[in-house]
Amino acid sequence: MKGLLSRILNRGAPPVEPEVAPASADLQPERPFVAIGDVHGRVDLLLEIDRLIEARCPGWPVVFLGDYVDRGEQSRDVLDLLMSVSPQDTPPVVCLMGNHERMLLDFLDDPAKNGPRWLRNGGLQALASFGVAPPRGGSTDPAALDEVRERLAAAMGAAMIAWLRARPLSWHSGNVWAVHAAADPELPMTDQSDNVLLWGHPEFLRKPRADGQWVVHGHTVVEAPQASAGRIAVDTGAYATGRLTAAAISADGVSFIQTGEG
CA–CA dist 236, 225 (Å, integer):
7
Cα dihedral 61, 67, 72, 73 sign: positive
CA–CA dist 26, 225 (Å, integer):
19
Q: How many CA atoms lie within 13 A of 151 on its CB side?
A: 17
The per-residue pLDDT for 3 is 55
The per-residue pLDDT for 11 is 34
Is residue 26 within 8 A of residue 214, CB to CB? The reply is: yes
Percentage of the chain lying above the pLDDT 90 cut: 85
CA–CA dist 1, 87 (Å, integer):
10
Asked if pLDDT for residue 10 goes beyond 50, the answer is no
Q: Which CATH architecture has domain 4-97+170-258?
A: 4-Layer Sandwich (3.60)
Query: Mean pLDDT of all residues in the chain?
Result: 91
Percentage of the chain lying above the pLDDT 70 cut: 90
Can you give the pTM of this predicted structure?
Answer: 0.91
H and E: helices and strands count for the chain: 10, 11
CA distances from 142 to 112, 133, 149 (A): 5, 15, 10
Asked if pLDDT for residue 86 goes beyond 50, the answer is yes
Confidence of residue 101 (pLDDT cuts 50, 70, 90): very high
The segment(s) of the chain belonging to CATH 3.60.21.10 are 4-97+170-258
Q: In what order do the strands lie in the sheet with 253-258?
A: 19-21, 253-258, 245-250, 33-36, 62-64, 93-95
The average pLDDT across 179-201 equals: 98
The per-residue pLDDT for 100 is 98
The per-residue pLDDT for 25 is 53
The per-residue pLDDT for 1 is 57
Asked if pLDDT for residue 261 goes beyond 80, the answer is no
The average pLDDT across 83-102 equals: 95
Reported in sequence order, the residue ranges of 44-195 that DSSP labels E, i.e. its strands, are 62-64, 93-95, 170-173, 176-179
Q: How many CA atoms lie within 13 A of 150 on its CB side?
A: 5
Asked if pLDDT for residue 249 goes beyond 70, the answer is yes
Is residue 198 within 8 A of residue 97, CB to CB? The reply is: yes
The per-residue pLDDT for 158 is 98
CA–CA dist 236, 259 (Å, integer):
10
